[in-house]
Homo-oligomer: A and B are copies of this chain.
Amino acid sequence: MQEHVAGAATEPGVVACSVYADGKRIADITIEEAGAWRDRPGHVAWIGLFEPSPDLLNRVQKQFNLHPLAIEDAGQAHQRPKLEQYGEALFIVARTAQMLNGRIAFGETHLFVGKGYVISVRHGASASYTTVRRHLESCPVALSHGEDYILYAILDFIVDNYSPVLEEINREVEGIEDSIFDNSLQLGAVDRLYMLRRELVRLRNAAGPLLDVCQRLEHADVLPIDPPMLPRFRDVTDHVRRIKEEIDTLREVLAFAFEASIMVTQMTQNEITKRLTAWAAILAVPTIVAGIYGMNFKNMPELDWELGYFVALAGMLAVSVGLYFWFRRLRWL
């Protein structure tokens, strides 16, 4: 996966690396300068990394004195969403989701947050936080809240990005629902229903543990969060809860859709068998009559009747037509 590196950062793996004070970007810096800047009161270093090399991570670690275990985790993807506190620093793992070619592409973001710095490390498919950065730079009042606000903005952005995924799945499910009930369900749609169920399980695994993360941030049992920021994190928690509820709803709906399609397929089977039975009955009569008058007995009086043939034909037709309408009335045809 390629990454378009924005901002002044020119090093591979570094998406952006700037220092903010009073809500304004005051410098684009290198990793090695970051430690010095963050020690100045009121200054926040915000560094964005994308799939960094172990070497780059080690250089970052030295600047901010991060815990080795957290750095170890940050170097590899496939973590469960979690929040861990090492001394005065927070380490947060979140999973991101995007819809790519009809499948959910998952990515991971690892965040280090401490007094005077926010470091985001992205792995895999995930939207760049350049959008968040630009948005924050455009409202200095918000940004002047410092690292807590940046953390909030990133988490909010991650959670916001789940919504389009759910909307796309929802739209697709509605399409399949229609095809179930107008009896045009194809094997491909069942396959798709199945895939969506699988994807939703993975999505729930990605979003579910994030609720714990947000709740812990909200309840201020972790160190560096400013009390006035807590309602913001409560908002994110609410948002995650809503996302989770939607995932669970969709999962239930998909299960219902599966059951409904089994039901409808079975009703169709009944319809077909009824039709088969009806036509077999309708066609049996002329077959039998024709068979009877095809026998070679010497003495078969009807055969010599002038109109025998026509009477027989008319009889066959009459019985068949009669049966046909009888089956129609039974709704077998």
Contact = CB atoms under 8 A, between A and B. Distances in A.
Interface of A: 67, 69, 73, 78-80, 82, 84, 86, 177, 181, 183, 185, 187, 190-191, 193-194, 197-198, 201-202, 205, 231-232, 234-235, 238, 241-242, 245, 249, 252-253, 256-270, 272-277, 279-281, 283-284, 286-288, 290-300, 302-309, 312-313, 316
Given A69-B232, A272-B277, A273-B276, 20 more contacts: A67-B231, A69-B235, A80-B238, A86-B231, A181-B190, A190-B264, A190-B267, A194-B260, A197-B256, A201-B252, A205-B249, A263-B265, A266-B269, A279-B284, A294-B295, A294-B296, A296-B303, A298-B304, A298-B305, A300-B309
Tell me if A's interface is mostly helix, strand, loop or mixed. Answer: helix
A276 B257 CA distance: 28
21 contacts: A79-B238, A80-B245, A84-B231, A190-B260, A194-B257, A198-B253, A201-B252, A276-B276, A279-B281, A286-B288, A287-B287, A288-B290, A290-B295, A292-B313, A292-B316, A294-B294, A295-B303, A296-B300, A297-B303, A298-B306, A298-B308
Identical copies in the complex? 5
Given A288-B283, A288-B286, A201 B261 contact: no
Nearest to A259: B258
Nearest to A265: B266
A249 B197 CA distance: 11
Contact of A291 (B193, B201, B281, B290): B290
Given A181-B194, A277-B276, A298 B303 contact: yes
A213 to B, nearest CB: 13
A201 B249 contact: yes
A240 B260 CA distance: 30
A305 B303 CA distance: 16
B312 A295 contact: yes
B292 A286 contact: yes
A221 to B, nearest CB: 15
A279 B277 contact: yes
Contacts of A270: 265, 268-269, 272
Nearest to A311: B297
Nearest to A246: B205
Contact of A258 (B202, B235, B263): B263
A271 to B, nearest CB: 9
Contacts of A79: 238, 242
A299 B290 contact: no
A187 B264 contact: yes
A260 to B, nearest CB: 5
B297 A312 contact: yes
Nearest to A310: B299
A279 B276 contact: no
A245 B78 CA distance: 12
A262 B262 CA distance: 8
